[in-house]
């Protein structure tokens, strides 16, 4: 018969949860701008969003995509602490849609230039014309792109 054994090192688990909670703190407030965000006006731990571009994209969805505006607003207005976009699972759970719906939308946003791919594991970061985030020390969070064309565009902007 199978016997369950209690966890013998609860302190190790608690420390792991503390580290995870510390990493998830990050972005405390999102500030809106009428154009591209200006890093000088963003405080540490905050993010600046290009509200005019966000509104334009959200109000003009492609055909047959009824979740477009909700997904786009959720994606941009809730950045993760490390400056990347929420994962497909996070967005799908919050909006109650399928992961594939989120994945297809992210591909379209990548083609438009709202986000760019950081690695092949599904991690995306924001185009600096859409969102600029600062860490708790006041440094602008920058991610390397795996796409050469997108990387040259990012270098020109930063």
78-107 confidence digits (pLDDT tens): 888 888 899 999 999 999 999 999 999 999
Domains and CATH numbers, the chain: 24-157 (1.10.10.10)
In this structure, are residues 125 and 84 in contact, taking their beta carbons and an 8 Å threshold?
Answer: yes
Q: How far apart are CA 77 and CA 96, in angstroms?
A: 17
Annotate 29-55 with three-state secondary structure.
EEEEECCCCCHHHCCCCEEEEEHHHHH
Q: What is the pLDDT of residue 41?
A: 92
Q: How far apart are CA 100 and CA 5, in angstroms?
A: 39
Q: Which letter does DSSP use for residue 19 in this model?
A: H
Q: How far apart are CA 20 and CA 1, in angstroms?
A: 36
Average pLDDT taken over every residue of the chain: 77
When pLDDT is averaged across residues 59-77 and rounded to a whole number, the result is 84
Q: pLDDT tier at 154 (50, 70, 90 boundaries)?
A: low
Residue 156 reports pLDDT greater than 60: no
24-55 confidence digits (pLDDT tens): 345 678 888 999 999 999 998 888 999 899 88
- Tokens representing 103 are 């994945």
pTM exceeding the 0.75 threshold for the entire prediction: no
When pLDDT is averaged across residues 124-152 and rounded to a whole number, the result is 80
């Amino acid at each position: 018969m199978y016997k369950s054994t209690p966890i013998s090192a609860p302190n190790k688990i608690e420390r792991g949860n503390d580290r995870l909670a510390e990493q998830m703190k990050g972005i405390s407030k999102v500030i809106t701008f009428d154009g591209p965000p200006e890093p000088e006006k963003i405080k540490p731990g905050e993010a600046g969003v290009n509200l005019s571009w966000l509104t334009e994209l959200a109000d003009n969805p492609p055909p047959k995509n009824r979740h477009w505006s909700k997904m786009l607003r959720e994606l941009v207005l809730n950045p993760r602490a490390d400056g990347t976009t929420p994962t497909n699972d996070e967005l799908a759970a919050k909006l109650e849609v399928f992961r594939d719906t989120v994945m297809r939308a992210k591909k379209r946003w990548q083609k438009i230039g709202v986000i760019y791919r950081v690695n092949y594991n599904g991690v995306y970061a924001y185009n600096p014309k859409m969102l600029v985030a600062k860490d708790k020390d006041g440094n602008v969070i920058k991610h390397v792109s795996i796409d050469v064309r997108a990387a040259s565009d990012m270098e020109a902007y930063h």
